[in-house]
Amino acid sequence: MENLINGVTKFQQENFAQNRKLFKSLANSQHPEALFITCSDSRIDPNLITQTQPGDLFICRNAGNIVPPHSMMTGGITASIEYAVMVLKVPHIIVCGHTDCGAMKGAMNPQSLSDLPHVSNWLSHCACALARVKARHDGDCEGHLLEMIKENVITQLKHLETHPSVAAGLATGSLQLHGWVYDIGTGQVCCHDSQAGDFVRFEDRYAELLRRAPKQFVHQTNYEAGAA
């Protein structure tokens, strides 16, 4: 707790003081650019990865960056999606998985969850992703964690489309969905390309936008985003 307490003090004395105008503008309203759905993993910091400020992202976090399919059973993720799309009018939703995901390890090894009934039940929302990975490898998913992580992102994007607010936004073109996987060890991000049917380099997926970006933000990488 000492680090957290010292951090709050530093924020109030330094960061907040240096950005009073920003926080004053956010005091009574928010206009985020995207709903960012990612894992609860402590190693993932959406604002750090995207270099965004407070107010830029509406963030939902849970074990495995999961989006349950729409149903009449209200949950926190379902309510947050509805609010982000219908009230905040976000034009983008990003589902961001990450390497070394403990939730995906658990989904691939359900025996390890015998003492975690709620975790096991939650990870049932990854069943389609696990089935696809197993089908490609004769029922064996061992050694295919990255493939599972990517398949899970695709599965959750499909679940998103079952939510009425998302379906309406996609139908009118006011909403776009994005699937990302963040590599903790390298800092790279690969992105799902629905036309290619695979994950591609961040630079390739957003090449046109990057060409219009300030030069200092455009970087080259040798990262290859092939399937696991």
DSSP class of 91: S
pLDDT at site 216: 53
pLDDT averaged over consecutive 10-residue blocks of the chain (228 residues)? 93 93 95 98 97 97 97 90 98 98 97 96 97 92 94 98 98 98 97 92 90 61 39
What single string gives the DSSP state of each residue in 52-69? --TTSEEEEEETTS--PP
Of the candidates 114, 144, 112, the one whose C-alpha atom is nearest the C-alpha of residue 129 is 144
Kind plus residue range of the DSSP H or E element containing 36: strand 34-39
Rounded to two decimals, the pTM is: 0.90
Tens digits of residue pLDDT in 91-140: 999 999 999 999 999 999 999 999 999 999 999 999 999 999 999 998 88
Rounded CA separation 104/113 (Å)? 12
Beta bridge partners of 97: 181
Domains parsed from the chain with CATH numbers = 31-217 (3.40.1050.10)
pLDDT at site 223: 36
114, 133, 153 from 139: Cα distances, Å = 21, 8, 20
